[in-house]
Amino acid sequence: MIRLLACVTALAVLAPLAPVRSTRAAAQDTSQVKEGVRVGVEYQPGVRPGLVVLPGAGLDSVRAIIRRDLDYSDRFEMITVADAPSGAGSSGVPGGAVNYGIYRALGASFGVELLEAPGGVTVRLHDVGASQVRNQQAFSLPPVTDPGFRLAVHRVGDEVARWATGTEGIAASRLLFVAGGRVYRVDSDGEDIVPLTPAGQTSLSPTWSPDGQRFAFTLLGAGRGGVMLQGIAGGAVQQAPGTAAGLNITPAFSPDGRLLAYAHSDESGTDVYLANIADRCCAQRLTVGRFADNLSPTFSPDGRRIAFVSTRAGPPQIYVMAADGTDQELLAPFDYGATGSSNAPEWSPDGANVVFHREVSGSPQLFVVSVAGRRVRQLTSSGRNEDPTWAPDGRHVTFVSDRSGRRQLWVIDLETGRVRQLDTPGAARLPAWSRRLSRTAVAP
């Protein structure tokens, strides 16, 4: 109980808001430590197809957003518009020809052409090698002033990524995070930051519902905290069943959204509970403390298992159990002396891995453990890195790092090792990445 309260107190001491920074970073975090505990990200350059968003008239904001979305997918070697010579042929004028030869010479495999259309945009994906249009589709877009404009454009970018690679992009997803005691929402590219909870209260541990329509978080006050459920678009705030008394933190939705797991702490200890929020009843205890803390539950994508943190063997480590609380066992192997406490697990969207942070020489670093083989890999080594959360594609992870001098959100691509920063107000904490958001899943 004392350890848990100390952890919550540390989370609650959040820095005051500061102006949003405009500087962005793209770097590599590819430090490697061989077999055993740590294996870094490895990447062989030159294996991604080149892609250029073709220059054209109008649609400047749409073109900028889609180009950034395709860049941040990390599936392409991006060729900037500035690399395209002014005589490369008409690439944004209806009826104009694209000079495929010049773009081939620049290394492009694909060209994305955007044309103004009534009520939206027509998008063409050019196969530069074959000198032909591979895909073409008209998309309706709301006005630029509409709150849903950016998310609609992100969906276009995701579809273009699917045309080119067969896999949908992650641009039409969002993140929650905490800064200054408030929960904020931000687009996957770091733009359009919106506060979701009022100033003057202390909110912790936000997490998305599977349908993207609401989120859960801990509202902390007077030494206790309830788990609250709130719509992304606003509306009444409800308290999750079983969380009116004591301290309740680290909530996590089941994949179908009907259940909510969380850590409940009172005089008897700290344990993982499971509440039926669909029927608003029945909080079930899944762990038995016995002088140990159990917290930070995370569901497997099929809903059958829960990974969590427990101090039953000493320092906090990552365990796993069946969703009914049975078959509890250690998930992430560890060795005293080489590594320390492990915290903040989150199950990957494909169910194959769990990401978490672990102390290395007194500093938290990101790790991934394979569920089947229990093999542990280290992902970061620069600065303090913690609180990881998966993107819906299962290859990107957002985390908190102080590598820029203050705690900010960063994104790492596990396939290339590329790291980029998301500028946020103040000191950001506790990010949570949504699933892909459909048109009907979430309000602007």
Section 162-169 average pLDDT: 96
DSSP H or E run through 105: helix 100-105
Q: From CA 304, how far away is CA 299, in angstroms rounded?
A: 7
Which segments within 189-338 are labelled E, that is strand?
194-195, 202-208, 214-221, 224-231, 238-239, 247-253, 259-266, 269-276, 281-285, 294-299, 305-310, 317-322, 329-330
pLDDT in tens, 319-356: 999 999 999 999 999 877 677 999 999 999 999 999 99
CB half-sphere exposure, 229, CA atoms < 13 A: 24
**pLDDT at 183 > cutoff 90:** yes
Q: Say how many residues make up the chain.
A: 444
CA-based nearest residue to 232, from 292, 290, 176, 300? 176
Phi, psi of 298 (to 5 degrees): -150, 130
Is residue 76's pLDDT more than 90? yes
Contact 286, 271 (CB under 8 A): yes
Residue 10 has pLDDT above 50, yes or no: no
Residue 95: is its pLDDT beyond 80?
no
Q: Which residue has the higher pLDDT, 143 or 95?
A: 143
In CATH, the architecture of 2-30+175-433 is 6 Propeller (2.120)
Q: What is the pLDDT of residue 423?
A: 85
Percent of the chain with pLDDT over 90: 74
Can you give the pLDDT at residue 46?
A: 52
Would the pTM count as exceeding 0.95?
no
Q: Express as a percent the part of the chain with pLDDT over 70.
A: 84
**Least-confidence region, from 43-52, 112-121, 151-160, 270-279:** 43-52
pLDDT in tens, 356-408: 999 998 899 999 999 999 999 999 998 999 999 999 999 999 999 999 888 99
CATH 3.40.50.10070 holds for 50-72+76-165? yes
Contact 114, 123 (CB under 8 A): yes
Contacts of residue 120, Cβ cutoff 8 Å, sequence gap at least 6: 138, 139, 140, 141
* pLDDT for the residue numbered 298: 98
**Sequence ranges of the domains in the chain:** 2-30+175-433, 50-72+76-165
Instruction: Encode burial over 222-253: b for 16+ CB neighbours within 10 A, e otherwise.
Output: eebbbbbbbbbeeeeeeebbbbeebbbbbbbb
Residue 306 predicted with pLDDT over 50: yes
Of 376, 299, 288, nearest in space to 334 by CA: 376
Q: Report the sign of the C-alpha dihedral through residues 364, 6, 183, 319, in that order.
A: positive
